[in-house]
Chains A and B, each alone.
Chain A
Amino acid sequence: NAGVTQTPKFQVLKTGQSMTLQCAQDMNHNSMYWYRQDPGMGLRLIYYSASEGTTDKGEVPNGYNVSRLNKREFSLRLESAAPSQTSVYFCASRPNIGVSNQPQHFGDGTRLSIL
């Protein structure tokens, strides 16, 4: 019963380095999300994918790109990491977008530090 799996769990980067955070779900969900969580702030949506082949910007997309590789996998890429991107990143999935009575299922998070 893996649910939503994120890799890596921890990463330290230098400013300017690139990195891809991986996310995979085994629940056959259509919708997937990437959030960041910073101290004193609520979770903020970076990008989401309503279904395989589609992606859309969330509240804080600048500095990030995403790829919905297939129905299972949704990756988040930092092309040129900046210290402001130091955060905990969560991936989530949900059966279908636009249906209100479905909870989101979250991964365990990736703690990313940019030096």
Chain B
Amino acid sequence: KNEVEQSPQNLTAQEGEFITINCSYSVGISALHWLQQHPGGGIVSLFMLSSGKKKHGRLIATINIQEKHSSLHITASHPRDSAVYICAVLRPGSQGNLIFGKGTKLSVKP
């Protein structure tokens, strides 16, 4: 079983919809990252969080440490949000080495 599981694997939405991507992990962590990868492009860090909730524009990330679960929400989705969203966790004492989920491919249709 993978240590970091994301759901869904693929997601298609209509422009304007509220989107939720989930990440569950089975190990103790010191931080969780949400990353975005556009087709053919590089990887950008969206959020890094160890508790609670963070918001940046239309993106909101939450984490529940007790339940070992995080969600990434996108409000008022737009076609430019189409990308692969990757969850990654940092284990305590791991020297910065991240454990990555397989990613959720999001396609937002106009």
Interface residues of A (CB under 8 A from B): 31, 33, 40-45, 48, 50, 56, 58, 90, 92, 94, 96-109
Decide if A48 touches B100 in the complex (CB within 8 Å). Answer: no
Q: Which of A56, A97, A101 contacts B31 (CB 8 A)?
A: A101
Counting chain A CB atoms within 10 Å of each CB, which of B4, B42, B44, B93 scores highest?
Answer: B42
Known A-B contacts A42-B100, A101-B31; A50 and B44 likewise in contact (beta carbons under 8 Å): no
Q: When chains A and B are docked, how far (Å) is the Cα of A109 from the Cα of B43?
A: 9
Q: How many A-B residue pairs have CB under 8 A?
A: 69
A-B residue pairs, 9 tightest by C-beta: A42-B100, A108-B42, A103-B45, A100-B30, A106-B43, A43-B100, A97-B96, A100-B31, A97-B95
Interface residues of B (CB under 8 A from A): 2, 4, 30-31, 33, 35, 41-45, 48, 50, 86, 88, 90, 92-93, 95-103
* Residue of A whose beta carbon sits closest to that of B47: A103
Decide if B86 touches A94 in the complex (CB within 8 Å). Answer: no
